[in-house]
Structure 1
């Protein structure tokens, strides 16, 4: 039985976004190279194509940004915006951040993260209903980024709210794009000046003091504007994505209560549950790239200057790569998914997101071995770049 009408995918269509996976399946089967003439972009959906596209930065460039609306706006990107750079300049900037974003620093945050999760959840003792996103999931990454950067707790809520607001869209509408809106650096300007005079053991102080060799071969420290860009990227990057991961963990385990019971009985399954959730419900479904040169795909020429959407959420369930990929299975053997990307732009914060997810789920399960989501009042967020829960009301025993 064939489908009567051609497959249609639109990243701005909220009806499709509610459950895009049937559309992805059709795209993989009927249009492995998909073209949307309404918004003028191409899309790839197969695992092999996504992997190849993410690695081939010379063809699929990040220089115009990783978001469709940003590519279309053709705005000037501030230097140091890692997500919007290609090698060799990207590699210079990434090495600098990698030096201060080390596994040691990430693991050193574990007890602080756990202490905060404990405080956050303990205050819900005796409450039988609450919104997981507002009361917990949104709080955790905001505090962790604050710990990393050395931002005072009093300022952390403002940081998160302004970062989140930039991603919000009206249903069916595109993100409003400008260089100023993308890089809201004024929020940190006075704080960086204060931190320069009051150094501490935090990432911001390390950025202020770090020496590196720039693209001209000059050994120097970062300029104030460069530090502002780095800090703004970091503050925004980790907030929304990790909050959505925690939301998906709770939503999926409500839908699969037998697997939740297995986790309560055997918490050693938690790390693999994080990986399966990242695969099954990635917070970002598509990574956009600017096509820097003509490329032949599926017998067609995608011309230079095009926008290409790499649908990582489709690749993560591609039947050519995954055995029964549409099934959620916390015991699945996972050697690689593409939720954090691959190659040059592999997410620097991946280890931190995994750590936050693991601790958050562990502490939730310790207190609430069972919960029920109020699906009638749960709502997905309205953004073309992220897919996750805006509100997720749950009842607990």
Structure 2
């Protein structure tokens, strides 16, 4: 049966966001290049198109930001905001962060992450029910970012709440955008001054001491303002996304109890379950780019100066790329998904997110081999940039 009305996709429409996948299927089939005239942006939804565009940073630029509202606001972005830069300056700043965000440092956090998960879940073990997001999923990435940056445990909740608040939107409305709101650096000013006087084995101390060659060829350390920018980006980037990943792991395994039982029997499948969950329910559904020159796509011209939305969540289920892409399968062979991006802007925190997700799921399954989600009282978060659970009450035992 054909659809009587033209396909419509709008990232600010809460009704579509409840289950956007039927709309994504229609976009791929009916409008592989889609134009939203209400908000004036274009959309690509097929795997090949999204991949090519992510790699072609010269045409599909990040220099005006990766969020539609930020591109439209045309805000001056402070240097060091990696998500909002193109090469060559992006590569210089990324190399500096990569030096202090190494695989060794990430893996060194495993025992601390596990200790925190154990403490948190042991506290919940006697409960018949609890909100997974409030009592566990939101706590884990907040503590981990705190460990990395050296933010005192007593202040970590405030950091998370301010980072999350910047992403919240009223249903049907866009994010309120300003340079100050995006880069809320004053929150970290006191920490940096204190850490400069009290060095430790954390990322903030390394940023204070790191020497590098800047774009003028000068060898120097980062300015205080540059460090504030880096720390703000890191603190915001890791909190919301990883919490949503943990929420989706629990929600999807509730909907697929046979696969959950398989994981209990075969915990070696847990890393692949993380990948399948990232593919099937990515926390960020779309990433925006600024089009720097006229581009011909599907017989149409996308003019220079346009905003382009790249639908990662659609590409991750594209039937041209995935057999049974609309099905969740923890045993699926996955060579690549694009939830963490690809190319220049591949997520620096991908290994950390995977580590947190794996440990969290291992410890949840060790205590609660079964659970039931209270779907009537569950709620998705209200944001145009992330899709995940605000509340996910579960009963256990």
* TM-score (structure 1 length as normaliser): 1.00
Aligned partners of 1:54, 1:265: CA distance in 2, in Å?
A: 38
Match of 2:132 in 1: 132
Aligned-pair distance for 1:101? 0.2
Structure 1 position 274 matched with structure 2 position 268: no
1:227 aligns with 2:198: no
1:270 is displaced (CA, Å) by 0.1
* Counterparts of 1:395 and 1:171, CA distance in 2: 29
- Give the aligned partner of residue 20 of structure 2: 20
- CA distance, structure 1, for counterparts of residue 47 and residue 61 of structure 2: 19
Deviation of 1:83 after TM superposition, in Å, equals 0.2
Partner Cα separation in structure 2 for residue 314 and residue 125 of structure 1: 37
Counterparts of 1:329 and 1:2, CA distance in 2: 29
Is 1:339 matched up with 2:339? yes
4+ runs deviating over 6 angstroms = none
- Cα distance in 1, alignment partners of residues 78 and 112 from structure 2: 33
For 1:355, the equivalent position in structure 2 comes to 355
Aligned positions of 1:316-331 closer than 5 A: 316-331=316-331
Displacement after TM superposition at 1:3 (Å): 1.1
Alpha-carbon distance in 2 for matches of 1:254, 1:287: 29
Distance 1:276 1:297 in 2: 30
Alpha-carbon distance, 1:92 to partner: 0.1
Within 5 A, what are the aligned runs for 1:285-304? 285-304=285-304
- State the distance in 2 between where 1:361 and 1:320 align: 31
- CA deviations on 1:152-196 (whole Å, 9 max, x unpaired) are 101100000000000000011100000000000000001101100
User: What pairs up with 1:239-250 in 2 under 5 angstroms?
Assistant: 239-250=239-250
Distance in 2 between the 1:49 and 1:213 partners?
36
Alignment of 1:137-152 (within 5 A): 137-152=137-152
Cross-structure match for 2:392 = 392
SS at match of 1:58: coil
Structure 2 residue ranges without an equivalent (≥5): none
TM-score (norm: length of structure 2) = 1.00
Partners of 1:217 and 1:336 lie apart in 2 by 37
- Residue 86 of structure 1 and its aligned partner are, at CA, apart by 0.1
Distance 2:46 2:21 in 1: 13
Match of 2:112 in 1: 112
The number of aligned residues is 397
Q: Deviations over 1:57-78 (max 9, x none)?
A: 0000000000000000001001
**Root mean square deviation of aligned Cα:** 0.4
SS in 2 for 1:123: helix
CA distance in 1, matches of 2:293, 2:88: 18
Q: Tell me the distance in 2 between the aligned counterparts of 1:333 and 1:99.
A: 31
